[in-house]
Amino acid sequence: MASAISYELFTAKRGAADGIASLDIDSKIPLSQLPDIAIDSYKGQFADTAALIAAYPTGELSDYAYVTATNSYWYWNAALASPAWVNQQITEADYIALSTAEKAGVPYIVIS
C-alpha cells in the first residue's frame, strides 16, 4: 500500500511547480522546469569570440558563454569603461594570491 501511495504522490508532483523535476529522453531536466536564472545567464557555446559577439553584442550582469576556440568561459563585464565580453582565465597560483575580497569579485577558470 505504501508503494502505491508513494508512486501516486511522485506522479502528481513530477514536473509540477514546487514538485519533482522530470527527465527528458536524454536524462536531463527539461528547460521548461529550470528557473530563468539557470537559463538566461548562460548564453551557449560559440566557435569563437566573433560568433559570441555577433550573437550577443551586449550582455547583462552574470551572463557567460563558452568559446571553443579559447577552450574557456567568457563573461560580460559591465564595469569596464567600454563594457565587453572578457575571458578571465588565471592560473591557480595567481588566484590563490588574490585577497578574499578580490576572489569574491573574480569569476575564474584555473589553467595549468
Which ranges constitute the DSSP H helices of 41-91? 49-55
Q: What is the mean pLDDT of the chain?
A: 78
Q: What is the reported pLDDT for 75?
A: 86
Residues 73, 84, single domain; the answer is yes
**Rounded Cα gap, residues 52 and 92, in angstroms:** 26
Residues 85, 58, single domain; the answer is yes
Q: What is the reported pLDDT for 91?
A: 62
User: Which domain range does residue 1 map to?
Assistant: 1-34
The cell numbers describing 112, all together, are 595549468
**Which residues lie across from 73 on neighbouring strands?**
66
Number of domains into which the chain is organized: 2
CA atoms lying within 13 Å on the CB side of residue 89: 10
pTM higher than 0.85 for the full model?
no
